[in-house]
Amino acid sequence: MNELIESRRCFNGEQRRYRHRANTLSCDMQVSVYLPDQAKSQPLPAVYWLSGLTCNDRNFVEKAGAQRIASELGLILIVPDTSPRGEGVADADSDSLGQGAGFYVNATEQPWRAHYQMERYVTDELVQWSADTLPVNDKRAIAGHSMGGHGALTLALKHPHLYTSASAFSPISHPTECPWGQAALSAYLGEDPQLWLQHDACVLLQSKRSHIPMRVDQGLADPFLTEQLNPQALEKAAQVHQAPLAMHYHDGFDHSYFFVASFIETQLRFHHHYLR
């Protein structure tokens, strides 16, 4: 099943929403897609956007204002949901676990493993779905916010052959050492902290020999800065291992989509440089 359920004119392009059957997740998934008009005449590169805790595929496309610059640069924006959803999909009474909080990992523990295979979905099935459904070429980048920033960085570091570049707003940089990350990783992967390390950007920067260009934007008025995000650990890991990470701190900005909207043009231009 693959269904176009919504389409609206937006700048010089079209904002769409699809519903498709995700075999890796054993449920239907919704994906928002922005198609610039250039896609009518040629395949275009894509930027995959991963959203944060409690979000779905709509938050970014309705709040970030990314379509204007994507239409100028000729970039397709592909925005999946943050987790599997639907009847029979496990959930929890927590913002950091369950539906809306897939953390972009492949769960191994019950009751999550039947549906919560978000790493496989994003890096395998969604890439294939995009190639089958959309006028994309073989160049793609990945970006995200908060939990999605964690996903963008870790998936890029684990699958560098898939992406030309990666970026993040306010990412959960060191999830093995913060409450959000520890709660999710222990539930999805089990209680052995060694199993969590392959989903921690700071650890991956230390263990990977090759890296793709990365950019991180972090607001200094973010209420989660110290307890949950720890960008300094990411910056230190990149410096020690000479990874190509550009870290940008911004006075006065918080964790909201007002921050994302303020710098999304900068991030998309960063990706466009490598996607060309």
User: What's the domain range around 263?
Assistant: 2-275
pLDDT at position 211, please?
78
Structure confidence at residue 207 (pLDDT): 78
DSSP 98: B
- Provide the pLDDT for residue 226: 95
Q: Which residues of the chain have pLDDT under 70?
A: 208-210
pLDDT digits (tens, 9 = 90+) for 56-103: 999 999 999 999 999 999 999 999 999 999 999 999 999 999 999 999
Q: How many domains does the chain divide into?
A: 1
Q: What is the dihedral of CA 129, 132, 134, 136, to 10 degrees?
A: 90
Q: Give residue 210's pLDDT.
A: 64
Is the sign of the CA dihedral 207, 209, 212, 214 positive or negative?
Answer: positive
Q: How many CB atoms lie within 10 A of CB 135?
A: 17
Identify the bridge partners of residue 144 per DSSP, sorted by sequence position: 50, 168
CATH number at residue 185: 3.40.50.1820
Per-residue pLDDT at 241: 85
> What pLDDT digit, counting tens, does each position of 111-133 carry?
999 999 999 999 999 999 999 99
Task: Give the separation between CA 45 and CA 47, rounded to whole angstroms.
Answer: 7
Could you list the active site residues? 146, 222, 255
User: How many helices (H) and strands (E) are present in the chain, helices listed first?
Assistant: 9, 9
For the chain, the residue count is: 276
**pTM score, two decimals?**
0.97
Say if CB 46 and CB 78 are below 8 A apart. Answer: yes
